[in-house]
């Protein structure tokens, strides 16, 4: 049999459901992949081998007795280190939280466990999913280059085949950016679709939790397993969770997709990414989708609005911790938190007002043009060498290279609408990139349908990084 880790999450779910493999075999395969890959890529802050093996044996016994709880039962999953896991370290990539072990699961983790999923390990993230410090994780696509933040370890784990799927958090693009860089599917669902209870916040008004996977179906399965209302979370939406896989193969004929070129197809857009995304548009047009050009000048206010909200809300949450443990923060993280305390309340209110103006303009554009989705490059640039992350830029996207990476993503956090990155190309230098779909509130199913219509006719999601091909 092909090494189990080469199968997608959906494929091993089917094999497990048919009784052709066991959960124990899956966990052992993941642990072997971790042993092979971790010396090189460092995806995990903590590998939970003993716990995962015990959970796999229990899952096998339960399924042998005829009780399979969900399509995720018995499947090992990685979880970002800022997401609480009961009885296991949740250190947020920071010395401030070193040794912290929560006594409860984050709501999204509790739902996954209730469905029988197994936590294989905690993945590296930037400090508090906020800092600009670079964790040790490296992508096998380009070991000397940035693997994307802040859900960096989750992206690397899935790419490295050491996890069939992983959870990330996303405040301005932290699921979609590493997904694009690592040739993965990454979904930031509608604000409130997945509870953020038990997730250490960056900015509670913008935070999302979501899945990172190799395929669209994988992603739909994982989102279904973690979504749902949480009474302890005031931001959690009272929305039923649909079967996201039900319409995956429906195609795009008759769908209306918006294109905003002034902001997303700016002159500084990488030429290879531009060509790749234009090819995606042509593919959809041939398949029967209609593209509508729209104008959203309000996009120009989104960067300043988001960064102001992040600085203010982030500083509010850290206010006590940073006074007690200032010396334990990375200097760059500490500087950002302290900067937030200098911003006046009037600036925070102005940012929230700008957010409302943008959201209303976007919703109006969707309604007026009768859009099912919008499409644009996930990132205007590919990844860069680690030592160039904070290099200045002069192309109009952002002040620094790392800032430019989320230029196309943070507007979806402000709007609270679902947005996902889908693989659509690899540059001549061997660097993956993706396109982003943004949808209507609580209509993730349509985004999955559109994404799958592209994925089934292309093989980008099957491509392997050079380090993978060499077996590490």
Q: For the segment 327-346, what is each residue's pLDDT rounded down to a tens digit?
A: 999 998 999 999 999 999 99
pLDDT value, residue 432: 98
Of the chain, the percentage scoring pLDDT greater than 90 comes to 90
What is the layout of strands, in order, in the sheet containing 76-80? 44-47, 118-123, 76-80, 166-170, 208-213, 185-188, 419-426, 432-439, 373-377, 256-259, 290-293
Which band of pLDDT confidence, cut at 50, 70 and 90, is reported for residue 458?
A: very high
pLDDT over 80 at 262, yes or no: yes
CATH code, 122 = 3.90.1300.10
Whether the pTM exceeds 0.95: the reply is yes
Which band of pLDDT confidence, cut at 50, 70 and 90, is reported for residue 424?
A: very high
pLDDT value, residue 397: 54
pLDDT value, residue 237: 98
Which band of pLDDT confidence, cut at 50, 70 and 90, is reported for residue 3?
A: confident
If one compares 399 and 388, the residue with the highest pLDDT of the two is: 388
pLDDT tens across 11-44, in order?
999 999 999 999 999 999 999 999 999 999 999 9
pLDDT value, residue 465: 87
pLDDT value, residue 130: 87
3-class DSSP string for the chain: CCCHHHCCHHHHHHHHHCCCCCHHHHHHHHHHHHHHHHHHHCCEEEECHHHHHHHHHHHHHHHHCCCCCCCCCCCEEEEECCECCCCCCCCCCCHHHCCCCCCCCCHHHHHHHHCCCEEEEEECCCHHHCCCCCCCCCCCCCCCECCCCCCHHHHHHHHCCCCCCEEEEECCCCCHHHHHHCCCEEEECCCCCECCCCECCCCCCCCEEEEEECCHHHHHHHHHHHCECCCCCCCCCCCCCCCCCCCCCCCCCCCEEEECHHHHCCCCCCHHHHHHHHHHHHHHHHCCCEEEECCCHHHHHHHHHHHHHHHHHHHHHHHHHHHHHHHHCCHHHHHHHHHHCCCCHHHHHHHHHHHHHHHHHHHHHHHHCCCCEEEEECCCCCCCEHHHCCCECCCCCCCEHHHHHCCCCHHHHHHCCCEEEEEEEECCCCCEEEEEEEECCCCHHHHHHHHHHHHCCCCHHHCCCHHHHCCC
Segment 403-424 shows an average pLDDT of 94
pLDDT over 50 at 411, yes or no: yes
pLDDT tens across 353-394, in order?
999 999 999 999 999 999 999 999 999 999 988 877 776 655
**Number of compact structural domains in the chain:** 1
Segment 438-446 shows an average pLDDT of 98
Which range, of 134-143, 197-206, 425-434, averages the lowest pLDDT?
A: 134-143
pLDDT value, residue 404: 80
Segment 77-97 shows an average pLDDT of 97
Which range, of 13-22, 221-230, 404-413, averages the lowest pLDDT?
A: 404-413
pLDDT value, residue 469: 65
Q: Which residues are catalytic?
A: 80, 150, 174
Domain limits for position 286? 4-469
pLDDT value, residue 133: 74
pLDDT over 70 at 253, yes or no: yes
pLDDT value, residue 266: 86
pLDDT value, residue 1: 38
Segment 278-295 shows an average pLDDT of 98
> How far is Cα of residue 101 from the mean position of the Cα atoms in its chain?
24
Which band of pLDDT confidence, cut at 50, 70 and 90, is reported for residue 185?
A: very high
Segment 428-439 shows an average pLDDT of 97
């Amino acid at each position: 049999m092909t090494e189990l880790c080469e199968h997608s999450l959906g494929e091993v779910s089917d094999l497990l459901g048919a009784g052709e493999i066991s959960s124990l075999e899956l966990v052992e395969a993941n642990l072997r992949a971790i042993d092979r890959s971790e010396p090189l890529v460092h995806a995990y802050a903590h590998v939970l081998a003993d716990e995962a093996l015990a959970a796999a044996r229990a899952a096998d016994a339960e399924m042998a007795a005829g009780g399979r709880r969900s399509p995720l039962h018995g499947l090992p999953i990685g979880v970002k280190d800022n997401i609480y896991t009961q009885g296991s370290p949740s250190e947020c990539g920071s010395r401030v939280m070193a040794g912290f072990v929560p006594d409860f699961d984050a709501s999204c983790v509790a739902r996954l466990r209730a469905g029988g999923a197994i936590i294989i390990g905690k993945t590296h993230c930037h400090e508090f999913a906020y800092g600009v410090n670079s964790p040790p994780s490296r992508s096998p696509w380009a070991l000397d280059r940035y693997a994307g933040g802040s859900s960096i370890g989750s992206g690397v784990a899935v790419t490295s085949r050491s996890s069939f799927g992983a959870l990330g958090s996303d405040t301005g693009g932290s699921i979609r950016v590493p997904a694009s860089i690592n040739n993965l599917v990454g979904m930031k669902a509608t604000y409130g679709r997945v509870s953020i209870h038990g997730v250490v916040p960056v900015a509670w008004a913008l935070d999302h939790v979501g899945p990172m996977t190799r395929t669209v179906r994988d992603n739909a399965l994982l989102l279904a397993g973690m979504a749902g209302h949480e009474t302890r979370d005031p931001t959690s939406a009272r929305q039923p969770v649909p079967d996201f896989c039900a319409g995956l193969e429906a195609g795009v004929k008759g769908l209306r997709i918006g294109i905003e070129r002034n902001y997303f197809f700016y002159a500084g857009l990488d030429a290879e990414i531009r060509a790749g995304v234009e090819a995606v548009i042509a593919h959809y047009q041939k398949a029967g989708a209609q593209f509508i050009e729209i104008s959203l000048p309000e996009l120009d206010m989104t960067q300043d609005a988001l960064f102001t909200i992040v600085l203010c809300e982030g500083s509010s949450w850290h206010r006590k911790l940073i006074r007690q443990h200032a010396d334990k923060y990375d200097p760059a993280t500490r500087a950002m938190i302290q900067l937030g305390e200098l911003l006046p309340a009037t600036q925070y209110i102005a940012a929230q007002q700008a957010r409302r103006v943008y959201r209303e303009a976007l919703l109006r554009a969707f309604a007026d043009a009768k859009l099912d989705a919008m499409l644009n490059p996930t990132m205007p640039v590919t990844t860069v060498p680690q030592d160039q992350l904070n290099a200045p830029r002069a192309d109009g996207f952002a002040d620094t290279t790392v800032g430019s990476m989320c230029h196309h993503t943070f507007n979806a956090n402000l709007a609270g609408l679902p947005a996902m990155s889908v693989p659509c190309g690899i540059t001549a230098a061997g660097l993956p990139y993706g396109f982003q779909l943004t949808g209507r509130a609580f209509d993730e199913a349509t985004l999955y349908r559109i994404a799958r219509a592209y994925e089934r006719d292309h093989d980008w999601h099957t491509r392997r990084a050079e380090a993978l091909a060499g077996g590490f």
